[in-house]
Structure 1
Amino acid sequence: MPETEVKRLAKVVGSAIAKHRTAGGLTQEKVAEELQIGVEAVSRIERGVVLPTVVRLSELAEIFQCDVADLVTETSSRPRDQARHIESLLSGLSSADRAMIVEIVESLASRLRR
């Protein structure tokens, strides 16, 4: 994998980790404590300076009570992964709100295909 792609991946994975941390109401300090690492190490992961190992992703997923895939699926450019991410976004919405979003996505997709 080219270095530029690794850097991009580190940034988007770090962003997803930060998003899960804040959604869970956790501080970087609490995550660092759980992982038994320094706060600066958590910051470096979230800023995309370093790409976490699979083991570290597993530990983070346990802390955030999610699947490892949840931390990387949002960053994928594969349609199936993107669909899974959209599914998770829709899951907490009412039927009417989901229908409205589907209409919007259909309209956008149709327009962009032209």
Structure 2
Amino acid sequence: MTDVNFEELAKSVGKAIGRQRQQVGLTQEQVAEHLDIGMEAVSRMERGKVVPTVVRLAQLAQLFGCELADLLRETSNRPTEQSIVLSQQLAKLNAADREMVLEVVDKLVARLAP
């Protein structure tokens, strides 16, 4: 069984929430208003001080227009999950920029791989 570092997990989920919020152009205050909670509660989630419930994560995903899995996928250290996150990021770029990113990634892998 894999040991889970809950503190790191909370921070990772918080970063994912913050990233998704910023991508859709919402402030913490707007998120708080939509969820009918205080702005400090949103801040605490994003800083990893509070772990949101599954229901709250589903509400956030709906607000951000993403899948619930997207908020959790960003916390995974599995290559398969990470590749999905990278794919979503690449999809935002035009063909030339995707090509450039792939070239950089190839160089980094060649340099860092044992």
Please report the TM-score for the alignment, with normalisation by the length of structure 1.
Answer: 0.90
Give 1:46 deviation, angstroms: 0.8
Q: What corresponds to 1:93 in structure 2?
A: 93
CA RMSD of aligned residues (A): 1.5
**Counterpart check, 1:27 vs 2:27:** yes
Q: Aligned partners of 1:48, 1:18: CA distance in 2, in Å?
A: 10
Distance in 2, matches of 1:99 and 1:23, equals 22
- TM-score, L = length of structure 2: 0.90
Structure 1 position 10, deviation (Å): 0.6
1:109 corresponds to:
109
- Distance between the aligned counterparts of 1:47 and 1:96, measured in 2? 35
Partner of 1:69: 69
Q: Structure 2 CA distance, aligned partners of 1:94 and 1:29?
A: 32
**Partners of 1:12 and 1:77 in 2: how far apart?**
11
Runs of 4+ in structure 1 deviating by more than 4 angstroms, as ranges, are none
Shift of 1:25: 1.7
% of aligned pairs identical? 51
Give distance in 2, aligned partners of 1:49 and 1:27. 18
Note the C-alpha offset of 1:50. Answer: 1.0
- Describe the shift of the 1:15–1:107 C-alpha distance in structure 2 as closer, same or farther (beyond 3 A): same
2:57 pairs with 1:57: yes
Per the TM alignment, residue 73 of structure 1 is displaced from its structure 2 partner at its CA by 1.3
Give the Å deviation of 1:43. 1.1
Matched pairs, number: 113
Q: Counterparts of 2:101 and 2:3 in 1: how far apart (Å)? A: 36
Report the AA paired with residue 19 of structure 2. K
Structure 2 distance, partners of 1:26, 1:107, is: 35
Task: Please state how far the C-alpha of 1:2 moved relative to its aligned partner.
Answer: 5.3
Shift of 1:63: 0.6
Unaligned runs of 5+ in 2: none
Q: Distance in 2 between matches of 1:82 and 1:96?
A: 22
